């Protein structure tokens, strides 16, 4: 642990030798499926005529709702989503059925020839329409602390504002895919690119009407998940399994990129309205905040996503008198889902926007205002959901980054630059992140693992987590290698597999290593204990005196090679394998009131970003970024830096170029890389400096580390704030607004949205 070892698959991936599902050798007789999509946002589905499609060469037939042997409703937690649209269609791209053919091309071609009779119905396409019609996937939630209305009335200053933040397409490089293989006696083997094999198993069993024990789900790795494969990989697996059931053949379903865009949900777009009261120093006195999550046609994970937005709309700040209203809007759109940060970014964006405008209004430096609002160390340290913030390091971390990034000097330089450049305006901002680690649903914070030691001394690990590029398997291998004192090369992690470790949670909420790493550590410890007891018998010493390090087993009497001890232990009938189980301590949470301690600890960080905008075209560029981020004691610094850089750039994409456009009929107009722009290498800031905050996790976590997958995403809010500062400078120059006026910048800050914020469009 602590070494920057390369990712366990890096070489194989670079050499094109790492297998993704579409690379698996196909079984003889494999058929291919393609989805039949709704062309309308909302309508009554009167008839499906597949005769023309079925007459095409190579087509075997179609799979529709009536072909489902089990429950036609997906086993998702809200039970509100039909597996295939039956009587109605609820979004453009909703899957009505599949065409199954001898080749992918034949299936896709035929899917477009299926005739659909649909009577159009009025569609709800915006959050505003949903709120007017009280159209919810789940009921509204209110969280309050103190008396916000009273605090607002008596505040020294008051500002109202609103904001729109767009969604985000996951754009995993490997699209959604499943390969379903019928086995003997109605048993099933599913290869799924999924973050949650256990959920896929449950959904497939439910749809087929079989027990979970008859379904085995496997995933060696994903080519990215980012939350998009937390639930929605399950749909493909269920669809492929239903086709395999109907035709009694293996069936592969791999979505075309455009179809993937049209069918699957994205990050939830959010609309906000607020009323904030504050004093002369910029300290918030009272806040009323409305957050409306655009959920699409079904609940999916919208409940916990919107909850996490509520938990993070404080970001790092004490909100004494606060009233939050959270709407979970049902619209005729794809069902929006988990995406890195899981509602956290949407919460953080709101409060950072508010603080930026407060600073502008008062003519104060925004970093000063942010620091004044931070959670205190002794007092002002209880969140609005009643959790005490015990591990706040921002009082030290922010000043360190302020110095390292030369924030004050550069702020002066930016002002000077803006005073002398009429066309180009610069902006600089430094913003913190505090992100709660744990699944908010307490029950998911458990994990299992299996560690097998073979007689040659090699070690195989299986655990409940999934590899999606984040380096989980590498870290877990490092943890087990440390525990057994063997070289990393002797340790192998195998595919996620419901037949090896059952009932595993999704690999999500950044807690993959915390949960599975600890479970694997416990499993390895129990094998080690067996070996230590064996050696203590040989050497007449206490088992505690036996050490495992550097491939050696060392007792006070003798030093032996690991391989030698393993072989001897086997000959003496000592168990060389074990399971391990871990559940996160201390957490508890009441879902009805949204109060308790939902998080085991917080991960912190801060970023300082400098941008420049062209006030005539609205184009923008991120010039330099300094990040200081808290990963506790890093298990693998190389992987952690990769996660920080990747998370930051993905966050930048959300807030700058990645714009999803639905037209007036609810059709997603941006459904391919030609129109949907993720950051390219050229968008990565020329200066992107990442440092770690060197302090162990104050809670007892594996290797004293902290989770790193999601928190850095929110560091990109510094880019958004820097852009708003640049816009403010542009407006002052143009004389279109006073310097104290709030800057309303719709996210993502595309060139058009920057021009709008400047008052030029
Ligand atoms: N990194 C890569 N390369 N690919 C991914 O899909 N997903 C992110 C993050 N980092 C992702 C990633 C998300 S959304 C989460 S929740 C975490 O990884 C999950 O993995 P962990 O819990 O092991 O960090
Ligand atoms: N984070 C990510 N995924 C989840 C969560 C969460 O808090 N809860 C359920 N799925
Ligand atoms: Mo990550 S959004 O929790 O999969």
**Beta pairing partners, 34:** 99
User: Could you report the per-residue pLDDT of 101-127, keeping only the tens digit for each?
Assistant: 999 999 999 999 999 999 999 999 999
User: What is the best residue among 225, 508, 712 to mutate for testing ligand 1's pocket, by most ligand atoms within 8 Å of CB?
Assistant: 225
Q: Is 270 in the pocket of ligand 3 (CB under 6 A)?
A: no
Q: What is the pLDDT of residue 624?
A: 98
Q: What is the DSSP letter of 739?
A: T
Catalytically active residues are 710
Distance 292 CA to ligand 3 centre (A): 20
Q: What is the pLDDT of residue 22?
A: 98
**Residue of the nearest CA to atom 6 in ligand 2?**
439
Q: How confident is the model at residue 5 (pLDDT cuts 50, 70, 90)?
A: very high
Distance 750 CA to ligand 1 centre (A): 26
User: Could you report the per-residue pLDDT of 261-310, keeping only the tens digit for each?
Assistant: 999 999 999 999 999 999 999 999 999 999 999 999 999 999 999 999 99
Q: What is the pLDDT of residue 593?
A: 86
Q: What is the pLDDT of residue 637?
A: 98
**Residue of the nearest CA to atom 4 in ligand 3?**
227
Q: How far apart are CA 299 and CA 303, in angstroms?
A: 7
Please say if the pLDDT value at position 481 is more than 90.
Answer: yes
Q: How far apart are CA 69 and CA 226, in angstroms?
A: 32
User: Could you report the per-residue pLDDT of 195-238, keeping only the tens digit for each?
Assistant: 999 999 999 999 999 999 999 999 999 999 999 999 999 999 99
Please say if the pLDDT value at position 160 is more than 90.
Answer: yes
Distance 293 CA to ligand 2 centre (A): 16
Q: What is the pLDDT of residue 594?
A: 87
Closest ligand 1 atom number to CA of residue 509: 16
Closest ligand 3 atom number to CA of residue 710: 1
Q: What is the pLDDT of residue 705?
A: 98
Q: Are strands 446-453 and 177-182 parallel, antiparallel or unpaired?
A: unpaired
Q: How far apart are CA 223 and CA 195, in angstroms?
A: 11
Residue whose C-alpha is closest to residue 88's, from 60, 105, 65, 113: 65
Instruction: Identify the nearest ligand to the CA of 172 by its number.
Output: 1
Better-predicted residue by pLDDT, 711 or 591: 711
SS3 529: helix
User: Could you report the per-residue pLDDT of 550-597, keeping only the tens digit for each?
Assistant: 999 999 999 999 999 999 999 999 999 999 999 999 999 998 888 999
User: Could you report the per-residue pLDDT of 658-710, keeping only the tens digit for each?
Assistant: 999 999 999 999 999 999 999 999 999 999 999 999 999 999 999 999 999 99
Q: Are strands 215-219 and 188-192 parallel, antiparallel or unpaired?
A: parallel
Q: Is 354 in the pocket of ligand 3 (CB under 6 A)?
A: no
Q: Is 439 in the pocket of ligand 3 (CB under 6 A)?
A: no
The rounded radius of gyration (Å) of the Cα atoms in the chain is: 27
SS3 576: coil
Instruction: Identify the nearest ligand to the CA of 463 by its number.
Output: 1
Closest ligand 2 atom number to CA of residue 439: 7
Q: How far apart are CA 641 and CA 639, in angstroms?
A: 5
Contacts of 339 (CB under 8 A, 6+ apart): 168, 170, 226, 227, 228, 266, 267, 268
Q: What is the pLDDT of residue 591?
A: 85
Q: Is 340 in the pocket of ligand 3 (CB under 6 A)?
A: yes
Q: What is the pLDDT of residue 581?
A: 98
Please report, for residues 384, 475, 630, the alpha-carbon distance to residue 644 in angstroms, rounded to integers and kept in the order given. 28, 16, 10
**Residue of the nearest CA to atom 9 in ligand 1?**
709
Closest ligand 1 atom number to CA of residue 340: 14
Q: What is the pLDDT of residue 592?
A: 86
Please say if the pLDDT value at position 157 is more than 90.
Answer: yes
Distance 620 CA to ligand 2 centre (A): 33
Run of H or E including 357:
helix 344-362
Measured from CB, residues less than 6 Å from any atom of ligand 1 are: 224-227, 340, 468-470, 472, 507-513, 643, 646, 709-710
For residues 392-409, give the mean pLDDT: 98
User: What is the best residue among 340, 476, 584, 632 to mutate for testing ligand 1's pocket, by most ligand atoms within 8 Å of CB?
Assistant: 340
User: Could you report the per-residue pLDDT of 55-68, keeping only the tens digit for each?
Assistant: 999 999 999 999 99
Instruction: Identify the nearest ligand to the CA of 225 by its number.
Output: 1
Distance 152 CA to ligand 1 centre (A): 40
SS3 138: strand
Please say if the pLDDT value at position 487 is more than 90.
Answer: yes
Distance 699 CA to ligand 3 centre (A): 22
Q: How far apart are CA 264 and CA 336, in angstroms?
A: 8
Distance 29 CA to ligand 3 centre (A): 36
Length of the chain as a residue count? 761
């Amino acid at each position: 642990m602590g070494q920057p070892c390369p990712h366990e698959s890096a070489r194989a991936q670079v050499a094109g030798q790492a297998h993704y599902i579409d690379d698996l050798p196909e079984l003889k007789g494999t058929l291919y499926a393609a989805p039949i999509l709704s062309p309308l946002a909302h309508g009554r589905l009167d008839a499906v005529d597949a005769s023309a499609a079925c007459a095409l060469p190579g087509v075997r037939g179609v799979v529709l709702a009536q072909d489902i042997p089990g429950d036609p409703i997906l086993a998702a937690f809200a039970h509100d989503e039909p597996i295939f649209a039956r009587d109605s269609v609820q979004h453009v791209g909703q899957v009505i059925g599949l065409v199954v053919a001898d080749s992918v091309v034949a299936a896709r071609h035929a899917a477009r020839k299926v005739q659909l009779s649909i009577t159009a119905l009025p569609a709800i396409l915006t959050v505003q329409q949903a709120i007017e019609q009280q159209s919810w996937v789940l009921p509204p939630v209110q969280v309050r602390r103190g008396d916000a209305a009273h605090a607002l009335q008596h505040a020294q200053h008051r500002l109202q504002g609103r904001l729109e933040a767009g969604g985000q397409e996951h754009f995993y490089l490997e699209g959604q895919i499943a390969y379903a293989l019928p086995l003997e006696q109605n048993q099933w083997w599913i290869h799924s690119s999924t973050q949650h094999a256990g959920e896929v198993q449950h959904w497939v069993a439910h749809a087929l009407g079989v027990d979970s024990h008859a379904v085995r789900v496997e995933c060696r790795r994903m080519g990215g998940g980012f939350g998009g494969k937390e639930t929605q990989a399950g749909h493909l697996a269920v669809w492929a399994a239903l086709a395999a059931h109907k035709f009694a053949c293996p069936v592969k379903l791999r979505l075309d990129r455009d179809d993937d865009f049209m069918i699957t949900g994205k990050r939830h777009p959010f609309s906000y309205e607020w009323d904030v009261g504050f004093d002369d120093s910029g300290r918030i006195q009272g806040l009323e905040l409305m957050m409306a999550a655009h959920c699409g046609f079904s609940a999916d994970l919208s409940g916990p996503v919107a909850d996490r937005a509520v938990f993070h709309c404080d970001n790092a700040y004490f909100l004494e008198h606060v009233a939050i209203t959270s709407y979970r809007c049902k619209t005729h759109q794809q069902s929006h889902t988990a995406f890195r940060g899981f509602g956290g970014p949407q919460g953080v964006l709101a409060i950072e926007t508010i603080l930026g405008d407060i600073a502008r209004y008062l003519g104060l430096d925004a970093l000063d205002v942010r620091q004044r609002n931070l959670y205190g160390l002794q007092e002002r340290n209880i969140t609005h959901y009643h959790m005490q913030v015990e591990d706040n390091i921002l009082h030290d971390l922010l000043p360190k980054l302020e110095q390292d990034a030369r924030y004050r000097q550069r702020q002066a330089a930016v002002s000077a630059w803006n005073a002398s450049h009429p066309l180009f305006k610069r902006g600089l901002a430094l913003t913190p992140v505090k992100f709660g680690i744990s699944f908010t649903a307490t029950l998911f914070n458990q994990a299992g693992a299996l560690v097998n030691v073979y007689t040659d001394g090699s070690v195989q690990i299986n655990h409940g987590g999934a590899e999606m590029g984040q380096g989980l398997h590498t870290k877990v291998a490092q943890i087990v290698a440390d525990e057994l004192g063997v070289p990393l090369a002797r340790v192998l992690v195998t595919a996620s597999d419901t037949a090896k470790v059952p009932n595993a949670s999704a690999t999500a909420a950044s807690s993959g290593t915390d949960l599975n790493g600890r479970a694997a550590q416990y499993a390895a410890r129990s094998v080690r204990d067996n070996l230590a007891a064996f050696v203590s018998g040989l050497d007449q010493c206490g088992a505690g005196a036996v050490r495992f390090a550097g491939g050696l087993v060392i007792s006070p009497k003798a030093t032996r090679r690991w391989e030698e001890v393993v072989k001897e232990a086997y000959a003496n009938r000592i168990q060389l394998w074990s399971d391990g189980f871990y559940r996160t301590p201390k957490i508890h949470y009441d879902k009805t009131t949204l109060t308790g301690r939902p998080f085991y600890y917080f991960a912190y960080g801060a970023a300082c970003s400098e941008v420049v905008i062209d006030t005539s075209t609205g184009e923008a560029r991120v010039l330099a970024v300094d990040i200081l981020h808290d990963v506790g004691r890093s298990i693998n610094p190389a992987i952690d830096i990769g996660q920080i850089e990747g998370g930051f750039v993905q966050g930048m994409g959300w807030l700058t170029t990645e714009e999803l456009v639905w037209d007036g009929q609810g059709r997603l107009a941006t459904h391919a890389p030609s129109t949907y722009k993720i950051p390219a290498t050229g968008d990565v800031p020329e200066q992107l400096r990442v440092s770690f905050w060197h302090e162990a996790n104050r809670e007892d976590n594996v290797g004293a580390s902290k989770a790193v997958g999601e928190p850095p995403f929110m560091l990109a809010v510094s880019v958004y704030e820097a852009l708003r500062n640049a816009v403010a400078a542009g407006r002052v120059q143009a004389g279109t607004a006073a310097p104290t006026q709030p800057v309303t910048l719709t996210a993502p800050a595309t060139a058009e949205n920057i021009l709008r914020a400047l008052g030029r469009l």
